Amino acid sequence: MNYPKKVTIGDITVRDGFQHEENFIPTEAKVWLAEQLILAGFKHIEVTNLGNPQGMPQFRDADSVLKCLRTSKKIADKLSQVSLTAITIREKAIERAIMAKKDGLGPDRILLMVSTSESHHIKNSGISLDEYWKMAEKYIPLARDAGLKVNGTVSTIWGCPIEGPTEMSKAIEFSKRWFDIGANDVEHADHDGSASPDRVYQYYSMLLDAIPRPEKQIVHFHTTRGWGLANVLAALQAGMINYESSMGGIGGQPANFVSGVPVAGTGSYYYKDPNITGLNSTEDMVVMMDEMGIDTGLDIDKILEIGTMVEKIVGRRLRSESIRNGRIPKSMTGEK
């Protein structure tokens, strides 16, 4: 097997993980988790969504979360080496990020998103792809002038939960377009668990042939059907070195019901069972990579401890096997 010996992992629990939760996660818990992830060695974390909180009340505390992290004494000596990302799908969210950045309390990086499926894109953004590209072309320079890095995400690469099969080559075209209009990096996302390992290997091989800069590409898998770590292995084989995941494998479509109140979210769930969604489990992925001899630069024992606490935060058993079974011993235990 041929795979990288060192990778970078970004944890996105505080945003993508919690956005699917139907109970509001206290601000203090979000801040605590972000701090602990940074102390465990993560250099890239998603911390909030700066979009309209009426649709996603899970992030009504976005400003407070950012301010608490910027003023935290626990991580003050590490923040200069960490990239905090906020999601900014539309214009007002980008403007909000720019203002917060100018005030010294904003994110380091913002995320814009397109889907190769027009239906999925409109559901996420509210406007057509043509309209969105025009908006991105206008706002990316404004964001970069303010000191923000910009991520351009491409979704529905392997399939769409609304329309069905999609064409992978379209995602390559979209990736090139993101770089052409000024994105710093591109996330390649399977947001509904449509990707299978063979097509994952095919897509990332195509991508690196077209854009041979693996350090600028980010792998994002959901494991709705249980293929997540198999897809990670396929991406590793293709030469990908940047990955995203969430603690306990939580996350998914923004909740349309939060703390007893129906909300807009992005409309009705497109999962048969919205409890069986989510990303790859951070805990399981880092333990697997460690066993493969891949350097993640992370404190794996601390990550397993954090995973146990995240289960308490959300109030249920999550989708990590490693926090139950631990790491594989590296030496003899002495037991007979």
Query: Parallel, antiparallel, or unpaired: how do β-strands 8-11 and 242-245 relate?
Result: parallel
**Two structure tokens written together for 290:** 């460690």
* DSSP 8-state class, residue 76: T
For 179-224, how does the pLDDT look when each residue is reduced to its tens digit (9 = 90+)? Answer: 999 999 999 999 888 999 999 999 999 999 999 999 999 999 999 8
Give every CB contact of residue 247 below 8 A, 6+ residues apart in sequence. Answer: 11, 13, 17, 33, 281, 282, 283, 303, 306, 307, 310, 318, 320
**Two structure tokens written together for 157:** 């690469």
Rounded Cα distance between 125 and 110, Å, is 15
pLDDT of residue 191: 84
Rounded Cα distance between 302 and 107, Å, is 25
Q: With a cut of 70, say whether residue 275 has pLDDT above it.
A: yes
Arithmetic mean of pLDDT over the chain: 96
Give every CB contact of residue 132 below 8 A, 6+ residues apart in sequence. Answer: 114, 121, 125
pLDDT of residue 334: 64
For 74-87, how does the pLDDT look when each residue is reduced to its tens digit (9 = 90+)? Answer: 999 999 999 999 99
Rounded Cα distance between 191 and 273, Å, is 15
Q: What is the pTM of this model?
A: 0.96
DSSP 3-state assignment of 154? Answer: strand
For 51-66, how does the pLDDT look when each residue is reduced to its tens digit (9 = 90+)? Answer: 999 999 999 999 999 9
**Two structure tokens written together for 186:** 């591109």
How close are the terminal C-alpha atoms of the chain, in Å? 34
* % of the chain residues with pLDDT over 70: 99
Res. 299 pLDDT band, cuts 50 70 90: very high
Q: Mean pLDDT over residues 282-308, rounded?
A: 98
Other residues' Cβ atoms within 10 Å of the Cβ of residue 61: 20
pLDDT of residue 333: 67
Res. 271 pLDDT band, cuts 50 70 90: confident
SS3 string, 16-72, reads HHHHCCCCCCCHHHHHHHHHHHHHCCCCEEEEEECCCCCCCHHHCCHHHHHHHHHCC
Q: With a cut of 80, say whether residue 252 has pLDDT above it.
A: yes
CB 317 within 8 A of CB 311: yes
Torsion of CA 231, 235, 237, 241, to 10 degrees: -140
Query: Parallel, antiparallel, or unpaired: how do β-strands 149-155 and 217-221 relate?
Result: unpaired
Give every CB contact of residue 134 below 8 A, 6+ residues apart in sequence. Answer: none
